[in-house]
Amino acid sequence: MAQVEATTEQVVAADAEKVFDALADYTGTRQKLLPEHFSEYEVREGGDGEGTVVHWKLQATSKRVRDCLLDVTEPTDGELVEKDRNSSMVTTWRVTPAGEGTSRVVVTSTWQGAGGIGGFFERTFAPKGLGRIYDALLANLAAEVEK
């Protein structure tokens, strides 16, 4: 099994603190940002950054649905880490200043992929598909915080 990684980023016309606060607001803003690939969203504990436990289903393809139960931590300033209890998936959100009134948001998901031919296809196609899903989420984030 090989590690699979999907990364995407976007520059947002809002300061880093505002962008980070929107991402960390699991009881309010975060749910509004999710594209149609997410369903059954539910905050089970906390709701604001560190200590949050959140559930959703992620439909990556018409046949592939991942049931996610995530523990949220904030290991450093401007960083949210979501670790899935149901798989090896870890998603890290990094928000950094990118100039006056702008910020850069980088989201990276990693997980242990399958072996064999299935693993080859997963390593080849899953990062692009997940990248498109996160691109949509980041576009929604930009629209929300740039208001």
Residue pLDDT, tens place only, 18-32: 999 999 999 999 999
Against a cut of 0.75, is the pTM above it? Answer: yes
Neighbours of 31 (CB within 10 A): 15
Residue pLDDT, tens place only, 93-131: 999 999 999 999 999 999 987 777 777 777 777 778 889
Which DSSP helix (H) or strand (E) runs through 5? strand 3-12
| Per-residue pLDDT at 67 exceeds 90 | yes
Residues 6+ apart with CB under 8 A from 99: none
In angstroms, rounded to a whole number, what is the distance separating the alpha carbons of residues 120 and 93?
Answer: 26
Instruction: Give strand pairing partners of 67.
Output: 57
Neighbours of 110 (CB within 10 A): 16
66 three-state secondary structure: strand
